Chain A
Amino acid sequence: MESLSDSDIMENVRDGQVEKLAILFERHHVKIFNFFLRLTGSHDLSEDLVQDVFIRILKYRSSYEGKGRFTVWMYRVARNVHVDHLRKNKGTYNLEDQFEEPESEEDSPMHALEQKKDKELIQKALSQLPVKKREALILSRFQDMKYKEIAELFGCREGTIKASIHRAVKQLGEIYLELQGGVPS
């Protein structure tokens, strides 16, 4: 059986078959969760934000036009959810919540500790990037988005995105080095 495209399903949801949103949830919730996780570094917060994304998709389903890829529209909703969260919390994440480690690897304590440190450091570096650069970088590095799609999502030219991501990686490297210098290894 040929499976329906995301866009077809979303059109069904828009036209009243809301239960079909479950298919889109199953297809995309892990990806969106990881988008938020890399953006915020918080497991719990990312789960909340994913829930918000699907609530908004339902709420604004009638505005879905079916043009372009569904994922572009979905990430637009996700970005708005994230921005609104930042606004509500005045641009900061709950520090206690941040950089939490959901599961620890007990089998190799030294290695696990090293990895945990690495992860914390890169996550911290990421969080110091300006939001837009961070988003673009994560979308490109982790979410399988092409420059063209990211440009569509941000509403700007492809060339701008290209340059922006390049600068983001460069800047991230600098922040990382700085943090590494400040953290005894």
Chain B
Amino acid sequence: MTCSNIQERFVEYLTGQLSEKESEEIRAHVAECSDCRRELESLTEIWTKLGVLKEERPGDRLRTRFYSMLETYKLAEEEKIRKEREGLFSRLKNLWPRKPVFQFALTLGMLVLGLVIGNVWTVIPQQETVNTALADEVQTMRQTLAASLIDQGSASERLQGINMSYTLVDPDDKLLDKLLSTLNSDPSVNVRLAAVEALYLFHDHPKVKKGLIDSLSRQSSPMVQAALIDLMVSIRERRAVDALKSLLEQEDLNPEIKDRAEKGIQRLSF
């Protein structure tokens, strides 16, 4: 390694930036080379001498000045942002027409626009959607519960099931079948009567109409027969006339029912 190569690394040597191996190279060289030794000695002297320039503390004034400068800058920045906003506002203000007629027209236009947006964007449909979904869920729940109650052993539970089916808007086929079979074969007269009332609500359903007419000939209880006849008359079901006629052919028919059936035939025939 040449002397100039070595000398170039003296400052690094002094600042401790060299590795141990490199430092050893320098020491080995200066031990041999007197020129480089003198060079290193004079550099070391001045390098050390620079140490008298100790680190000093600036006055407190500097900190005070800095913070007031920062505060001023922040205020100026905020002012700038405020002015930009004001600029935007005044540009909007320039859009406002000077003539009262145009002012009125613009206001009216805004009102109409507001109404249109309000109409389109109303919250109510969203609420309705939610309500419908909820109602559907409740409906399904009630349907299941009603059907399972009708299957129960006790008459009061069966009645409860039928009562529950009153609250349904659109019962499914399964429940209607259950109500019809209850009407035809439930041992309790009260339950059968309740079934008549429940089925009256759903008489628009083709299956219900047919089931009600067919049921007329199967009933033995005068109370249920009377209820069915009244129902046929009130819904003006003309196809029930034949069923009523065949009812009249029954030998042991209650005279009251006979009378009611005849009147029913009359009313449905006109």
Contact = CB atoms under 8 A, between A and B. Distances in A.
Interface in A122-178: 122-123, 126, 140-142, 146-147, 162-163, 165-166, 169-170, 172-173, 176
Given A29-B63, A30-B58, 11 more contacts: A18-B73, A22-B66, A25-B66, A51-B65, A146-B17, A147-B17, A163-B8, A166-B8, A169-B11, A170-B39, A173-B42
A115 to B, nearest CB: 7
Contact of B70 (A19, A118, A162): A19
A21 interface: yes
Contacts of B7: 166
A50 interface: yes
Interface in A107-124: 115, 118-119, 122-123
B47 interface: yes
B250 interface: no
Nearest to A31: B55
Contacts of A38: 53
A21 B10 CA distance: 38
Interface in B13-31: 15, 17
Interface of B: 7-12, 15, 17, 39, 42-43, 45-47, 49-50, 52-53, 55-59, 61-63, 65-67, 69-70, 73-74, 77
Interface in A1-52: 18-19, 21-22, 25, 29-30, 33-34, 37-38, 43, 46-47, 50-51
Contacts of B11: 140, 162, 165-166, 169
Q: Which 9 A-B pairs have the closest CB atoms?
A: A173-B46, A33-B58, A47-B62, A119-B52, A118-B52, A165-B11, A34-B55, A173-B42, A169-B43
A58 interface: yes
A76 to B, nearest CB: 20
Q: Is the interface of B mostly helix, strand, loop or mixed?
A: helix
A173 B45 CA distance: 8
A142 B51 CA distance: 9
A131 to B, nearest CB: 17
Given A18-B74, A173-B42, A50 B62 contact: yes
B58 A50 contact: yes
Given A33-B62, A38-B53, A173-B45, A21 B15 contact: no
B70 to A, nearest CB: 6
B46 A169 contact: yes
Contacts of B59: 43, 47
B250 to A, nearest CB: 96
A102 interface: yes
A176 B9 CA distance: 22
A122 B43 contact: no
A172 B56 CA distance: 22
B53 to A, nearest CB: 5
A123 B50 CA distance: 8
A18 B70 contact: yes
Contacts of B77: 18
Contacts of B9: 162
Given A37-B56, A166-B7, A169-B43, A176 B66 contact: no
